[in-house]
Structure 1
Amino acid sequence: MPAFDHRDPGTSAAAWGTRLHDLDLPVWDGWRQATGLVVLSPHPDDESLGAGGLIAAAAAADIPVTVLLVTLGERSHPDSPTTTPEELAPRREAEFIEAVTRLGTEVAHEVLRVPDGGLDAERSGLAASLRSAVEAAGTRPLIVAPWRGDGHRDHRIAGELAAALATERDLALVEFPIWLWHWADTDDDTLPWNEARIVPLDAAAHGAKIAAMDAYPSQTEPLSDAPGDEAIVDHHHLQHYARRFEVLFPNQRALDLTAEPDVRTAAVGQADGSRSQESFEDHYREHPDGWDFGSWYEARKRQVLLAALPRQRYRSVLELGCATGVLTARLAERSDQVLGVDIAEAPLQLARRHVPTARFERRTVPDEWPAGEFDLVVLSEVGYYLSEADLDRVIDRILGSLTPDGSIVACHWRHPDDHAATSAELVHRRLLERWPGRRSVQHVEDDFLLDVLVPAGEASVAAVDGLTS
C-alpha cells in the first residue's frame, strides 16, 4: 500500500461505484444470527463511517451493540494553528456520543481513553477490554473492527487485536475498510475482493448512518480557514460512506453464520418495488392535472432549477417523468430538442397540447429507454418512485445516454410520500456515487434538494463569460 495524504484527491466515489457494481459482491446477512455486536473503533467516527449502517440495522433488530472507542482522536489536526489536542478531545468525545445515539438509542458505548496514536503501547489493556466486552455479548458474539490492511497504524493495530481474539476463541469477525477507498486503485487485483461481502442498508439504517456521520463537524468541516485546519473527511471522502450498502471482510466463522428467514423482511421486500404504472394511472384519473403545478411552491422550484442550469442553451434534453409538461415547456425555451417521457399516457396527452414543440413518449424506465444522446438529463420528482435496483439501472442508462459534455440535474421533494420507494437523499447520494465529474450546484432547503452534475473539466458560468480566469 502506498503512503497517502487525506488531502490528496484520491480515488473517486464514482470510480468505486462502477468497480463495486462490476464486482457484484455477495450479500452477507449472518449478523442477524449474532447475539451481540462488539465494535472496536480506534477514533471517533470510524464506527459510523465503516459500520454505522450495520450498527443501526442490528440495533433496530434488537441485537445488543457495544461500541468500544479506543482514543478520542485528539491528534486529528496536528498542524492546527487554532485548536490544541486538549481542546479537540472533549469536542470529539461529545460528537461520538451524539453519533452513537443517532445509530440507536440502545447502542452502548465505552470510552477507553488511550492516547491517540498510542495503541501499540496499550495492546494488552485493549485486548483485555475487548475480551471483556465480547464475553458479555452472548453465545454468538460478532466482533466488528477496522480492516488490518487499511493503511492507518491505529486501524491496523485495532484490527490485529480483534483478529487475534477471534482466532483464539473461534469467534465471528468482520473488518471494515475506511482509508482503502481513498488510496487504493480500482484495478488493484491484490485487494481481497474474493473475501469481501456487502450488507445492504434499508432506508432506516441508511438514514441513521448519514445522521451519525453528520454528527462529526470537527472532521467533516474545516476547523477554520487557516492551513492545517482542513476537513479530514471532506465531501469527497463522505461519498465513499454514503452508499446504500457497506463492504466488509468477514472471517470464515462469520460466513458460517446463516441468517434464518425473516418473514417480515421478505414481506417488505416484495412490496418494495418501483411505483407501478397502474398507480400513476389511478392518480391521473383522480387528478387529471397531475400535481399542484400552479402553486407558488412549484413555480418557484422550477425557477430555481432553471436558474441553476449552467448553460444558456442545450442541444438535446431528456426529461424523465415529465407529467403534463409544465417544466418541459420551460426547458424547450432553452434547447434545440426536448424529449419528455412518462409512465402514464394521460398526462402526455395534456403535455403534447401544452408543448407542441417538444416530443413526448410513454415509457417505463429503465426497461423502455428512449433512443438518442442528450447533453442534459432532467430527473425531477421521479427518482424516489424507483426501487433501489431500478434507480441504479436508470443511472446506468443515463450515463450511457449522455454526450461527453452532458450534464444531469436532479430535483426532489424531501417530505414523506406514501408512494415513494426511497427518498430524495438516497437518490441524490446514489447519483453522486456514480457521477465521474463534479457537482456545480448543490441546493438544499426544507422542501427539496437540487443538484447539478457537470463534466469534471467544465468551466464555471463566470469563466465562460470571461469574468474570471
Structure 2
Amino acid sequence: MIRLDTGAVREIALLAAHCDDLAIGLGGTLLSLADSVAGLRVRALVLSGAGTERAREEQLALESFCPGADLELRVLDVPDGYAPAHWERVKDAVAALRRDGTPQLVFAPQRGDAHQDHRLLAELAPTEFRDHLILGYEILKWETDTPRPTVFHPLPDGIAERKAALLLKHYPSQRDRDWFDEQSFLGLSRLRGVQCRARHAESFLLDKATITFGGA
C-alpha cells in the first residue's frame, strides 16, 4: 500500500449537512487525530438541527469524538432535504467557516452521495477551500451510494469499537433506524480495513491534490 503523509495537522474544518454525519463518516479519524495532536483545533459546521435536541446530541458527541480539542461547532436551522433551496445561506456559512481559520485538512461529504444536502456541501467545499486538502467522507445509510474510495485511514486498535460505542451513546434519536447499530458501523470499517491491509479503517475520496517527491 502506497503511503502519503499530510505533515503536521493542527487544525481541521468539518462540513456536514446533518447532526451525526461527521461521527458516522469520520468518527474514528477524529478520535485518532484528537488522541495524537494535543490542542487540535476543530471548526465544524452542520446545516440542520439548530434549536432541537439533535444539536445538543451533536455538541456532546463531538466533544467525545474530539477529547481535549479546541472545538467550535455551529449548527444552522436549514430544513433537512432542502439545503439546495437555501444555496446562498449555505454558501455564506461555508465561506465564514473558511475565513475563521487556517485548517490543514477539510472534511466534507463526497460528491457521489445520494442525499442532495450532502452533495451541495461536497460541491461548495472546493469553491471556498481552494488551496486546502479536502477529503470526502462516506455516510452509511440505506441508499446504495457506497463509493469507491481512493484514500484510506487505518484505525488504531480499539478505535473502531470506540467509535461505534460513542455513536450509540450520543445519538439516541437515531436508534430506531434499522441500520443504526454496532454491526453496521464495524462492518463498514472492517471492509475498508480489508481494502488497505488493516483491521479497521475509514475511507475518503480525494478529487485533487499536489505531491512533492523526495521530501520537503
Class of the TM-score when normalised by the shorter of the 2 chains? 0.7 to 0.9
2:208 alignment counterpart: 252
Aligned length, in residue pairs:
200
Structure 1 regions of 5+ residues with no counterpart? 1-24, 74-88, 186-190, 223-229, 261-469
- CA–CA distance in structure 2, aligned partners of residues 180 and 249 of structure 1: 17
Q: Deviations over 1:222-243 (max 9, x none)?
A: 2xxxxxxx44524553334544
1:45-444 counterparts in 2 under 5 A? 45-60=20-35, 61-62=37-38, 63-72=40-49, 90-105=52-67, 106=69, 107-138=71-102, 140-166=103-129, 169-179=130-140, 183=144, 192-193=148-149, 196-203=150-157, 205-206=159-160, 208-214=162-168, 215-219=170-174, 221-222=175-176, 230-231=177-178, 233-243=180-190, 244-253=200-209, 256=211
SS at match of 2:52: helix
* TM-score normalized by the length of structure 2: 0.77
- Deviation, 1:206, is 3.7
Of 112-121 and 56-65, deviating more is 56-65
SS at match of 1:183: coil
User: 1:116/1:35 Cα in 2 relative to 1: closer, same or farther (>3 Å)?
Assistant: same
Structure 2 regions of 5+ residues with no counterpart? 191-199
Superposition RMSD on alpha carbons, in Å?
Answer: 3.0
Which has the greater radius of gyration? 1
User: 1:132/1:184 Cα in 2 relative to 1: closer, same or farther (>3 Å)?
Assistant: closer
1:36 alignment counterpart: 11
Q: What letter matches 1:152 in structure 2?
A: H
- Deviation, 1:65, is 1.3
- Deviation, 1:144, is 0.5
- CA contact 1:210–1:242 (8 Å) conserved in 2: no
- CA contact 1:26–1:198 (8 Å) conserved in 2: no
- CA contact 1:49–1:178 (8 Å) conserved in 2: yes
Q: Deviations over 1:205-236 (max 9, x none)?
A: 445523431211221x22xxxxxxx4452455
- Deviation, 1:134, is 2.2
- CA contact 1:99–1:212 (8 Å) conserved in 2: yes
Q: What letter matches 1:41 in structure 2?
A: A
SS at match of 2:44: strand
- CA contact 1:44–1:92 (8 Å) conserved in 2: yes
User: 1:108/1:217 Cα in 2 relative to 1: closer, same or farther (>3 Å)?
Assistant: same
SS at match of 2:92: helix
Q: What letter matches 2:43 in structure 1?
A: T
- CA–CA distance in structure 2, aligned partners of residues 152 and 132 of structure 1: 23
User: 1:174/1:124 Cα in 2 relative to 1: closer, same or farther (>3 Å)?
Assistant: same
User: 1:130/1:212 Cα in 2 relative to 1: closer, same or farther (>3 Å)?
Assistant: farther
- CA–CA distance in structure 1, aligned partners of residues 115 and 101 of structure 2: 28
Q: Percent identity?
A: 25
* TM-score normalized by the length of structure 1: 0.38
